[in-house]
């Protein structure tokens, strides 16, 4: 079996390794750097920058822990970018070694479908190549969506790809879009020292069905503490360069009352309004692979497209699925197995969401709103981190955990955590939901003390009307 894969992001390289492990002859084609968006411009760079912002925060608050430190500590942006590049190089090298170990043929170049069972590749060397395939996996991903009125210039008007290559910290940064990426970068750059204004068209930040409104409210409060200006129900109508600064005209978006229009001024404008598919120009139409009106590939639960020999994984499936790196990795495993004759289906019921704001937010399953919409008889119980000794020890008491449980069975159907290390803590909730654990069983599970993980058992006790501290 010959399997060709377009795109060496998280989904693509995982699919390549799994297919090769199962005995397939695999060719992986990538026109950009190995690792795709997650490694090069998304998950990893943002966490590297966040670690520096967190370190600065720790230095500035060191006095609370009886430690003398320089409260005027600053981040060396050029050194931070260099650190980012070193870490990415190490990670990319590890991926290349894994691909080589498993016998995956990696072709650096631009690939397109020329005919059924054929790829044409223009290699980075200039060589034209033909690659045969029995099964094709499309993992070409997505890119930041621009605003037509003021497109990206990678200097003043930035995408989320551009922001991690800046050589200096912007004195002032305006961010259009209060979704996951916009909120994460607002927290990071405020932590690094920028004056940040976040502009969101909806009536709340993180306006996602999967995010409980209480999480949005908590994050808003914490952003204000960090002197991040947040404008909701607002949009940028125009942006023009005036000297060395951008002048923005901000007006109402219609989602909520807004006292504009007004002028805003900033050094840099970061646009985080969503993603666009990398589906054009790769020849999908030649072999009957259907896309929706926006260009996202349409696939079934087995990740098979309208052409039964072609599969699609990762961001190229669009927001109809879940555009996260760990989802793409699982989709890659399933697509690889199905290319070789399996019939596995991709399930999205227990996918953790991880938002690396300050504080972090993590989710799995249903919110209260979603549970009500689906007709569940449920109860929702909340315990705050300030009840935990460990939270006081580390000086991070803002936040809570909420468990949504089915009243009839006691099974956990959703968990929302906002607070310190929420993105790590959510793993227990995912396992609990996958295994059908009830709140009573979770309450009976001994947790180490003093730990942040106790938030789960404390909330479970509250859910069975036996609260200890919450």
> d(Cα 254, Cα 307) in Å, to the nearest integer?
42
Closest CA to 459 of 382, 347, 400, 356: 382
What is residue 195's DSSP assignment? E
Task: Give the C-alpha separation, 196 to 189, whole Å.
Answer: 7
Omega before 448 within 30 of 0, i.e. cis: no
CA distance 195 to 199: 13
Query: Which residues lie below 8 Å from residue 324, measured CB to CB, with a gap of 6+?
Result: 351, 353, 354
* Residue from 155, 392, 449, 469 carrying the catalytic annotation: 449
For residue 350, what are the β-bridge partners? none
* 8 A C-beta contact, residue 258 and residue 232: yes
Query: In sequence order, what E strands does 74-188 have?
Result: 105-115, 118-123, 128-132, 135-138, 142-144, 157-158, 172-176
Q: Is 24 helix (H, G, I), strand (E, B) or coil?
A: coil
Cα-Cα-Cα-Cα dihedral sign, residues 425, 429, 435, 437: positive
* Residue 370: CA count within 13 A, CB half-sphere: 18
Enter the tokens of residue 213.
């409104």
What letters, b where the CB count within 10 A reaches 16 and e where it falls short, cover 173-197?
Answer: bbbbbbbbbbbbbbbbbbbbbbbbb
Instruction: Count the Cβ atoms, other than its own, within 10 Å of residue 143.
Output: 16
Task: Please say whether the beta carbons of 268 and 158 come within 8 A.
Answer: yes
Classify 364 as helix, strand or coil: strand
Which residues lie closer than 8 Å to 399 by C-beta, 6 or more apart? 218, 359, 384, 385, 417, 418, 419, 420, 422
Specify whether 350 is catalytic.
no
Edge-to-edge strands, sheet with 157-158: 157-158, 268-271, 172-176, 195-200, 229-232
Q: Tokens representing 282?
A: 């790769």
User: Which residues are catalytically annotated?
Assistant: 449
């Amino acid at each position: 079996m010959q399997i060709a894969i377009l795109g060496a992001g998280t989904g693509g390289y995982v699919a390549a390794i799994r297919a090769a492990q199962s005995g397939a002859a695999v060719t992986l084609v990538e026109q950009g750097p190995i690792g795709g968006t997650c490694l090069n411009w998304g998950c990893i760079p943002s966490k590297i920058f966040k670690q520096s912002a967190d370190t600065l925060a720790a230095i500035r608050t060191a006095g609370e822990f009886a430690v003398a430190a320089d409260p005027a500590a600053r981040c060396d942006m050029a050194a931070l970018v260099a650190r980012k590049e070193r870490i990415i190089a190490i990670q990319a090298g590890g991926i290349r070694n894994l691909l080589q170990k498993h016998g995956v043929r990696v072709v650096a170049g631009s690939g397109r479908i020329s005919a059924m069972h054929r790829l044409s590749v223009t290699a980075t060397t200039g060589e034209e190549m033909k690659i045969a395939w029995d099964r094709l996996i499309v993992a070409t991903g997505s890119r930041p969506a621009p605003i037509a009125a003021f497109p990206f210039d990678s200097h003043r008007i930035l995408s989320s790809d551009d922001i991690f290559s800046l050589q200096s910290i912007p004195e002032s940064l305006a961010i259009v879009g209060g979704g996951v990426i916009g909120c994460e970068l607002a927290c990071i750059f405020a932590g690094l020292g920028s004056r940040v204004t976040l502009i969101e068209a909806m009536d709340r930040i993180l306006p996602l069905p999967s995010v409980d409104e209480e999480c949005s409210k908590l994050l808003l409060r914490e952003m204000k503490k960090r002197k991040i200006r947040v404008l909701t129900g607002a949009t940028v109508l125009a942006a023009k360069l005036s000297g060395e600064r951008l002048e923005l005209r901000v007006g109402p978006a219609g989602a909520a009352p807004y006292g504009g229009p007004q002028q805003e001024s900033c050094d840099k404008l970061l646009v985080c309004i969503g993603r666009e598919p990398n589906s054009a120009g790769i020849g999908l139409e030649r072999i009957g692979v259907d896309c929706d009106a926006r260009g996202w590939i349409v696939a079934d639960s087995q990740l098979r497209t309208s052409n039964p020999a072609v599969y699609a994984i990762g961001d190229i499936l669009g927001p109809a699925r879940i555009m996260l790196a760990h989802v793409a990795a699982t989709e890659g495993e399933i697509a690889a197995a199905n290319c070789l004759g399996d019939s596995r289906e991709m399930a999205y019921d227990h996918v953790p969401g991880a938002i690396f704001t300050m504080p972090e937010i993590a989710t799995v399953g249903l919110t209260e709103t979603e549970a009500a919409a689906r007709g569940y008889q449920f109860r929702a119980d909340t315990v705050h981190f300030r009840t935990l000794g460990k939270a006081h020890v580390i000086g991070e008491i803002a936040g809570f955990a909420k468990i949504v449980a089915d009243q009839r069975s006691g099974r956990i159907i959703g968990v929302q955590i906002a607070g310190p290390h929420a993105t790590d803590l959510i793993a227990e909730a995912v396992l609990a939901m996958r295994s059908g654990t009830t709140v009573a069983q979770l309450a009976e599970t001994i947790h180490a003390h003093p730990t942040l993980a106790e938030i789960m058992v404390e909330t479970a006790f509250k859910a069975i009307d036996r609260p200890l501290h919450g």
